[in-house]
Amino acid sequence: MMAVMLIGAFVGLLNETLLATALPSIMNDFGIEENQVQWLTTAFLLTNGVMIPISAFLIEKFTTRQLFLTALTIFATGTAIASVSHAFELLLVARVIQAAGSGIMLPLMMTVMLRIFPVEKRGAAMGMAGVVISFAPAIGPTLSGWLLEYFSWRGLFYVVLPIVIIAIIVASKFVKNVTEQTNPKIDIISILLSSFGFGGLLYGFSSISGGHGGSEASSGINGQAVAIVIAAAIILTIFIIRQLKIAKPMLEFRVFKYPIFSLSLIITMIVLMALIGAETMLPLYMQNTRGFTALESGLMLLPGAIVMGIMSPITGMLFDKFGAKWLATIGMTIVTVTTFLFTSLEMDTAYSYLVIIYAIRMFGLSLVMMPVMTAGLNQLPEEWHPHGTAMANTMQQVSASIGTAILITTMTTSASNYEPNASSLEGLSETEAMTQIAANASISGYNAAFWLATILSLAGLCLTLFIKNKSKPQQEKSEQLAQ
Burial of 256 (0-12, 13-18, 19+ CB in 10 A): exposed
Higher-confidence residue: 7 or 183? 7
Q: Note the Cα 379 to chain centre separation in Å.
A: 23
**pLDDT attached to residue 474:** 44
**pLDDT attached to residue 221:** 63
Asked whether residue 216 carries a pLDDT value surpassing 70, the answer given is no
Task: Please give the Cα distance from 480 to 476 (Å, whole number).
Answer: 6
Q: Which homologous superfamily does the CATH classification assign to the domain defined by 256-483?
A: MFS general substrate transporter like domains (1.20.1250.20)
The angle subtended at Cα 390 by Cα 321 and Cα 122, nearest 5°, is 15
For range 43-49, the mean pLDDT: 84
φ/ψ of residue 336, rounded to 5: -65, -45
**pLDDT attached to residue 469:** 67
pLDDT tens string 318-348: 998 888 899 999 999 999 999 999 999 888 8
Q: Mean pLDDT lowest for which of 8-12, 209-213, 250-254?
A: 209-213
Contact (Cβ atoms closer than 8 angstroms) between residue 145 and residue 295: yes
1-184 under CATH 1.20.1250.20, yes or no: yes
- Rg of the chain's alpha carbons, rounded to an integer? 22
**pLDDT attached to residue 460:** 92
Asked whether residue 4 carries a pLDDT value surpassing 70, the answer given is yes
Torsion sign (Cα): 36, 38, 44, 49:
negative
% of the chain with per-residue pLDDT over 70: 92
**pLDDT attached to residue 347:** 86
**pLDDT attached to residue 327:** 92
Task: Please give the Cα distance from 365 to 22 (Å, whole number).
Answer: 28
**pLDDT attached to residue 386:** 87
pLDDT tens string 113-155: 888 888 888 888 888 887 787 778 777 777 877 888 788 888 8
Residue ranges per structural domain of the chain: 1-184, 185-249, 256-483
pLDDT tens string 423-472: 666 666 777 777 777 778 888 889 998 999 999 999 999 999 988 865 44
Determine the residue type at 282. Answer: L
Task: Please give the Cα distance from 320 to 418 (Å, whole number).
Answer: 49
Asked whether residue 168 carries a pLDDT value surpassing 90, the answer given is yes
For the whole model, what pTM was predicted? 0.79
**Residues in Cβ contact with 169 at an 8 Å cutoff, skipping those fewer than 6 apart:** none
Tell which residue, 166, 430, 173, 145, has the closest CA to residue 296: 145
Contact (Cβ atoms closer than 8 angstroms) between residue 141 and residue 23: no
CB atoms within 10 A of CB 226: 14
pLDDT tens string 242-268: 999 888 888 888 889 999 999 999 999
Q: Where are the alpha helices (DSSP H) in 117-222?
A: 122-130, 136-147, 154-174, 188-207
Task: Please give the Cα distance from 63 to 209 (Å, whole number).
Answer: 42
Contact (Cβ atoms closer than 8 angstroms) between residue 268 and residue 369: yes
Higher-confidence residue: 247 or 364? 364
State the chain's maximal CA–CA distance in angstroms. Answer: 76
Contact (Cβ atoms closer than 8 angstroms) between residue 328 and residue 267: yes
**pLDDT attached to residue 23:** 79
Do 1-184 and 256-483 have matching folds? yes
